[in-house]
A and B are shown apart, each in its own frame.
Chain A
Amino acid sequence: MERDIPTYSLLLLIVFVMIPFTIAYIYQLGLKKDIIWSTIRGTLQLFLIGLILTYLFDLPPLVGIPIMLSVMILVATFHARKKGKELPYIFITILVGLIGVEIIVLSMWLGFGMISFTPEEVIPMSGMVIGNSMVAMGLALERLKSEFEQNRGKLLAALSLGATPKHAAHMSIKKTLNASLIPNIDQLKTIGLVQLPGMMTGLILGGVAPIIAIKYQLVISISIFSSVSLSAIFISMVMYRFFFNKQMQLLNLQDIKKNG
């Protein structure tokens, strides 16, 4: 069964956009431009993606899938990089991390026959994994920087007691990982209870039987959980060392780029 939303009814969405817009207007929150702009931009982006996807889905999988994955990973890398501008090799590290994560999940999906190598399955599933990994890397980077900022004194104390950078940074890395993974763990715990996960919702709306939708959801939830954890661990483990120089001295955030 093919479902579709009549185009005219999409126009009704404008009513929904008007609600926050009106509130912003009444309380003078100064968000007016932002709301209008994000709505227009979001709508155009989605339609554009829809058009591109239609075209790419028609290409042979071995051509279309790599193109789409590359674009997704590049966009995600550019985005996550902003959270670690001060750090050297940040672009290449995130890029390598995302490619690695994608290769791992894709091999698992295909190797165990969970999905087939078609754009319809690979692209949305990969999109979710890459998107979540991107967010996780950004969170971990922000957290890592603030941990190092807040714990300067303790890090200096550890180094002056003879600790290597790795040993000294252990506590900060641990806290970074905890903080970046907790939202994810919570989500996994309440899955299906608080909110029906996005993918399941989509499949059920698309006419797939709930039990099959659940199987897909299980695959994607666990894939996201593992890849988010992997991403946060990878980025923290690679990046912490740039906060120190070769002489095992702690650097200021603004001196890191020069040193790296």
Chain B
Amino acid sequence: MNEVIFQFNQVNRLVLKDITFTLREEDRLIIFGSSGAGKSTLLHLFNRMDDPDYGEVLFHNKRIEQYDIPQLRRSVGLVLQQPHLFPDTVLDNLKFGPSMFDDWEEGRAERLMNYVNLPIDYINKSVDELSGGEKQRVSLARTLANKPDVLLLDEPTSALDDRNIEAIEEDLIKLIEHNRLTVVMITHSMDQAKRIGTKGLYIEEGQVIEYGDLNQLLENPNTDQLKQFLHKS
């Protein structure tokens, strides 16, 4: 069971210095740290939206460069901070990924809309008609449409209000469990981190300060730096 999915060995890129950690199948890793710490930069190395300058990233024990890039991005899905929907209907957005790989069947739209808790008749709406929360849901569903094994989330709720955040979080937890997804998520909210995550990676100025069991990190931080960070947030 719980096999190693990702292994980062001494990875350097822009601000990132010697990042080393392992991600296992059942992990839901929360990346946190101050603004500019390098969280997004790190997240983009998981699906090769960016590449390290030095060091290696292993995916299923093979160097990540050995995988076909579109296929890799399909199985390691990224949800951006802003929805960035394509200016078409909701359905067009959902089909965007699958149709490139000839992997779309009729029932899938309904299942996806269900996951993200949107009414099925929304699929023919133009994305301009959606609210901010609805757009973020469609963006999530669009990534899920590719049936990823790993889900990368870059502050998926940062553009939303409290009520929307709670609702999306619940749906997110459900669909993660239902699809047995491995998750890497950036968040500024430690409450959200606790509700979703199992592991924690605390970085500052591009360096890993603490890494391990999330509850452990939050309850018993080892470094003064993390203590202060938690105190502030």
Interfacial residues, chain A to chain B (CB-CB below 8 A): 153-154, 156-164, 167, 171, 247-249
A154, B70: Cα distance in complex, Å: 16
Report B-chain residues with C-beta under 8 Å of the C-beta of A159: 49, 73
User: What distance in Å separates the Cβ of B158 from its nearest Cβ neighbour in chain A?
Assistant: 14
Q: Could you show 8 A-B contacts with beta carbons less than 8 Å apart?
A: A153-B82, A156-B49, A159-B73, A160-B49, A161-B73, A162-B100, A163-B100, A249-B49
Q: How far is the CB of A156 from chain B (nearest CB, A)?
A: 6
Q: How far is the CB of A51 from chain B (nearest CB, A)?
A: 54
Known: A163-B100, A249-B50. A156 touches B69 (CB 8 A): no
B68-85 interface bits toward A, Cβ cutoff 8 Å, 1 = contact, 0 = none? 011101100110101011
Shortest Cβ gap from A41 to chain B (Å):
45
Q: A154-B84, A156-B80 are in contact. Are A161 and B69 (CB under 8 A)?
A: no
5 shortest A-B CB distances, which residue pairs?
Answer: A153-B84, A162-B70, A161-B97, A160-B78, A162-B74
Binding site secondary structure of chain A? helix
What chain A residues lie within 8 Å of B97 (beta carbons)?
161-162
Give the interface size bracket for B toward A. 20 to 34
A160 touches B70 (CB 8 A): no
Residues of A within 8 A of B143 (CB): 160-161
Taking a contact as CB atoms under 8 Å apart, the answer to whether A160 and B47 are in contact is yes
Question: What is the CA–CA distance of A12 and B70 in the complex, to the nearest angstrom?
Answer: 67
Chain A residues within 8 Å of B77, by CB: 160-161
Over the window 131-159 of chain B, the binary record of Cβ atoms lying under 8 Å from chain A Cβ atoms (1 yes, 0 no) is 00000000100110010000000000000
Any A CB within 8 A of the CB of B101: yes
Contact, CB under 8 Å: B146 / A162: yes
> In the bound complex, how far is the Cα of B82 from the Cα of A94, in angstroms?
37
Closest A residue to B48 by beta carbon equals: A247
Residue in chain A with minimal CB distance to B97: A161
- For B34-76 the 0/1 string (1 means CB < 8 A from A) is 0000000000000111110000000000000000011101100
> Is the pair B51, A164 in contact by a Cβ cutoff of 8 Å?
no
B142 contacts A161, C-beta separation under 8 Å:
yes
